[in-house]
Structure 1
Amino acid sequence: MEIIKKSLFYFLIVILFSCHQKIEKKDFILKGGVFGTSYKISYLNADKNYQESIDSLFLLINNSLSTYISTSDISKINSGDSTVVIDDFFKEVFLKSKKIYKETDGFFDPTVGNLVNAYGFGPKKEKKNLTDEDIENYMKFVGLDKVTLHENKIVKTNPNIFLDFNSTAKGFGLDVIARFFNSKNINNYLIEIGGEIRAKGTKKNNKPWLIKIVDPVNISSGFKVIDLSDKSMATSGNYRKFRVTKKGQKYVHTINPKTGRATESNLLSASVIGSVDCADVDAYATAFMAMGLEKTKAFLKDKQHLKVILIYTNKNGNLEEYATYK
């Protein structure tokens, strides 16, 4: 009997010791494709690989907000289904869009979706050569003030209004993953989707999350190095996304919501950096491309929390840079 008692005692000791053993923490790098682009996620000192959870979150975002998926909530709403009850993802992006739409005096406007499609930059890829009359007709359906939220349903003043949140989808995706990491007490990570970035904490050895971006104004210097620890960064530019018609007309993917036209302003690239959600800087970068340089500079005067690197062409056609990020 004494032997049995001792055996049970040692057995309990082993169980208690096992329960108090620390789970080994590891660093992870995850790579893949989402939102029509690639992603890379680095997170440190975690107890497991969260690839499956992250894939599930990406799927939920797509099913809510992707205009490229015919069965998504936004696609159903765009096709005229007024019975869709939106989820929390859709609601957050919609309300955030409303806020930035007002702040930018309508230069950020996700109701330019019909024009995005018509110019060939949306899921329908129509590639029309729009006349002034065409643009005028499409502009009747532009204006986020024509869309409201009532009892978690989207209400449009005209069923032809086409919502397109793709200008903030990547940034919002980063925010969702960042919040997931925060809920798991992961305090050091860098998330990058298609060039948009959000970072928290530090890398190994307490080194900051530094990223390099090409400096097109000073090619000889190669890159700019930016500290993105505890910051978000998004870039919008027309130097890659454009098309040229047989007649030589150039259309860029940034649609000016004020004019309905897809022609370049003097601003070629806008990178926005801030200690805010990545969806916010994503939306601001889009708005700045439509605003052009001078309106953007005026807008930033009372937005000290936003830092920018703007690449533009001067009156002689040469590249210059306006930067508030140091």
Structure 2
Amino acid sequence: MQKLFIFISFLFIISCADKPVKYKKLHGNAFGTTYNITYKDGLNRDFTKQVDSLIYLVNKSMSTYMPNSDISKINKGDTTILVDKLFTEVFTKSDKIYQETEGLFDPTIGILVNAWGFGPEKSVEKLDSIKVNELMKYVGFNKVRLKDNKIFKEYQEIYFDFNAIAKGYGIDVIGRFLETKNCKNYLIELGGEIRARGVNSLNSEWRVAIENPNTDGTRSVNKIVKLKNKSLASSGNYRKFKIDENGRKYVHTINAKTGFATESDLLGATVIVSGDCADADGYATSFMAMGYEKSIQFLNKHPELQAYLIYIDENGSTSSFTSENLSLY
């Protein structure tokens, strides 16, 4: 009887081991948009609570829409704030991209994001070149520094805005958490930004759609890209823009060199990197400010980046560019 019990137990263990592990899916809200997470976990655990906690921590550190976040307190002039590791890493990543893009990526652009009506603070009425030039005094990542977990600003009015990189970074935080739980196969999508590791449920590369730059609110697929151990971020001005009473269009990507919210010839930029989604996020935003020609020049200097650009050519037609190291379908 004891041998029978052992045999039955052994069969039970074998059957559990042979049972295929299903991919789990999580959905929720974060950073003013939605997230979708698909992952494979041998223990079939639900990480919803942990994911929501991580999102809260990122917001508590860097959300300009939370009055009690660290960044909001710093923006209001609180010099006693000791920033956490999340803030420190994003600050460091931002400084690197700021240097590489010669200042076109600049998280101190926040005062102008607000002025043009794309931030949490009150916009400036009848914003003209004189007012913009006055506000530009408070823009420049070279005017801030991080030392001993404290932020030092050359001017109290300097306003941090990490929205161009924080969403991608939030994805990285979640991805790193999944990896600590031995989840090697996952895809995290948050507001269109993506971090993919391993393979999907079909044991193949993750397939992700790149959208057309539709301005009428509709959504359609332009290309398909396969991702394995890659991060992807897209930026575009075809959804988030404003048109004033004179018919002039203002886009949410502020040029940190000029201070103006004018549209470049680039309609959409998708960047793929082997590392963190925060980096892809920052580069994609930078390209929108650079425009097509400068983006191409930048890509030539950085062959580690993969990119797909949609732009308006010299004839006024919509064209696209695919970097040589990227395959699209």
Could you tell me the TM-score, scaled by structure 1's length? Answer: 0.90
User: Structure 2: 5+ residue runs without aligned partners?
Assistant: 215-219
Change (3 A) 1:257 1:322: same
Structure-2 residue corresponding to 1:4: none
What SS does the aligned partner of 1:235 have? strand
State the alpha-carbon separation in 1 of the partners of residues 126 and 95 from structure 2: 30
State the Cα deviation string for residues 119-168 of structure 1 (Å, max 9, x = none).
01011252633111100011000100000011100000000000000111
Q: Give the letter for the 1:40 counterpart.
A: N
For the pair 1:148 / 2:145, whether they are aligned, the reply is: yes
Q: Give the letter for the 1:29 counterpart.
A: K
For the pair 1:196 / 2:193, whether they are aligned, the reply is: yes
Conserved 8 A contact 1:62-1:69: yes
Conserved 8 A contact 1:119-1:129: no
Structure-1 residue corresponding to 2:182: 185
Of 93, 117, 124, which residue of structure 2 is paired with 1:96? 93
State the alpha-carbon separation in 2 of the partners of residues 316 and 68 from structure 1: 41
Structure-1 residue corresponding to 2:322: 323
Structure 2 matches for 1:104-115, cutoff 5 A?
A: 104-115=101-112
State the alpha-carbon separation in 2 of the partners of residues 222 and 117 from structure 1: 32
Structure-1 residue corresponding to 2:68: 71
Conserved 8 A contact 2:77-2:156: yes
Structure-1 residue corresponding to 2:169: 172
Flag the structure with larger Rg: 1
For the pair 1:34 / 2:37, whether they are aligned, the reply is: no
Structure-2 residue corresponding to 1:279: 278
Structure-2 residue corresponding to 1:292: 291
Q: Give the letter for the 1:85 counterpart.
A: L
Structure-2 residue corresponding to 1:3: none
User: How many pairs align?
Assistant: 311
Structure 2 matches for 1:22-61, cutoff 5 A?
A: 25-47=21-43, 48-61=45-58
Structure 2 matches for 1:249-268, cutoff 5 A?
A: 249-268=248-267
State the Cα deviation string for residues 14-70 of structure 1 (Å, max 9, x = none).
9xx99xx87985421000110000110000134210111111100100000000000
For the pair 1:138 / 2:135, whether they are aligned, the reply is: yes
State the alpha-carbon separation in 1 of the partners of residues 221 and 278 from structure 2: 28
State the alpha-carbon separation in 2 of the partners of residues 269 and 110 from structure 1: 20
Conserved 8 A contact 1:274-1:305: yes
State the Cα deviation string for residues 263-311 of structure 1 (Å, max 9, x = none).
0111111110111210001000111111111111111112111011111
What SS does the aligned partner of 1:149 have? strand
Q: Give the letter for the 1:158 counterpart.
A: Y
Structure-2 residue corresponding to 1:126: 123
Identity %: 51
Structure 1 residue 223, shift from structure 2 partner? 3.6
State the alpha-carbon separation in 1 of the partners of residues 268 and 153 from structure 2: 32
Structure 2 matches for 1:8-27, cutoff 5 A?
A: 25-27=21-23
Could you tell me the TM-score, scaled by structure 2's length? Answer: 0.89
Q: Give the letter for the 2:36 counterpart.
A: K
State the alpha-carbon separation in 1 of the partners of residues 52 and 100 from structure 2: 33
Structure-2 residue corresponding to 1:237: 236
Structure 1 residue 247, shift from structure 2 partner? 1.3
Conserved 8 A contact 2:94-2:106: yes
Structure-1 residue corresponding to 2:59: 62
For the pair 1:160 / 2:157, whether they are aligned, the reply is: yes
Conserved 8 A contact 1:242-1:253: yes
Conserved 8 A contact 2:213-2:267: no
State the alpha-carbon separation in 1 of the partners of residues 93 and 255 from structure 2: 19
